[in-house]
Structure 1
């Protein structure tokens, strides 16, 4: 469990710099240069990610169950993760209505993904992992919207065709993940097969 916690602190800590220390971040980028900042940021993120994945894997070997989860929570989680995949696609498909309206769909995708996994899972490791990501996403979304207001950021209007492409990409990615990749990567099928 210690490795999971260290990984979460490192990974989410690096990703929280803009939330808690935007001025320090800007000064550090000015001092080091953008390339060096991105390099350090990427290395710290990767080390944190590996630690949290490894730590979570170890915690799953001897789980501490906190509550019983009904079967229906898996189905609700699958539906929520479908929404998360569409939001994730909205972050990358330019000119869609979702990004124009929501402004930060990737962070919202993390929120929905984390909530879905909290509903469907019931161990201490799940609570730490998904609860931490949910809390981080709530704080990051709030900070990002605040930066947008402070900077007067205006997002371009979306187009119907690009929004349709966004939804199709999200649904296809979700289907691949739900029906194949989740089991292949994590050993668990979202639908219990």
Structure 2
């Protein structure tokens, strides 16, 4: 479990700089330059992510069960992860109504993804992993919306084509992950197949 915790600290701390020290980030970025900053940011993020994956895999070998979620939570998690995938797609598909309305759909997608996994998993490693991401996403969304208000950020209005594409891309990505990739990458078939 120490590798999981260390990975979470590295990954989430580097992703929290704008939440807790936006001024310091701006000064450091100006001093270092954009490419070195992005390189260091990416390096620490990748190291943190690698430790999370490794640590979570190790923790799953000797699970510490805190509770056993009801079977119905697996179905709720499937629906919530569909929503999370659509929100993730909304971050990248141009001119969709979700991004126009929510401004930061990827962070909301992380919230929904983390909540879904907390509802359907009751091991200590799951609580640490998904609880940490949920907590981070709550604070990150709040900070991002405050920055938007302070800077007067306006997001382009959505179109029917952009919104439809977002829904389609999100649903197809979710189906591919739920029916195939989750079992391949994580070792668990979320739909019980």
- When normalised by structure 1's length, the TM-score is 0.99
Q: Which runs of 5+ in 1 are unaligned?
A: none
Partner of 1:109: 109
Matched, 1:55 2:55: yes
Deviations, residues 35-92 of structure 1 (Å, cap 9, x unaligned):
0000000000000000011000000000000011111100000000000000000000
Aligned counterparts of 1:29 and 1:182: Cα–Cα separation in 2: 37
1:124-139 superposed matches below 5 A: 124-139=124-139
Aligned counterparts of 2:23 and 2:55: Cα–Cα separation in 1: 32
- Alignment size in residue pairs: 193
1:1-193 superposed matches below 5 A: 1-193=1-193
Aligned counterparts of 2:187 and 2:51: Cα–Cα separation in 1: 19
Task: Return the offset for 1:183.
Answer: 0.2
Aligned counterparts of 2:68 and 2:105: Cα–Cα separation in 1: 31
Aligned counterparts of 2:9 and 2:91: Cα–Cα separation in 1: 25
Aligned counterparts of 1:56 and 1:42: Cα–Cα separation in 2: 21
Task: Return the offset for 1:23.
Answer: 0.4
CA RMSD of aligned residues (A): 0.4
Deviations, residues 112-156 of structure 1 (Å, cap 9, x unaligned):
000000000010000000000000000000000000000010111
Aligned counterparts of 1:151 and 1:185: Cα–Cα separation in 2: 40
Aligned counterparts of 2:172 and 2:192: Cα–Cα separation in 1: 20
Structure 1 runs (4+) deviating above 6 angstroms are none
Q: Which runs of 5+ in 2 are unaligned?
A: none
Task: Return the offset for 1:192.
Answer: 1.5
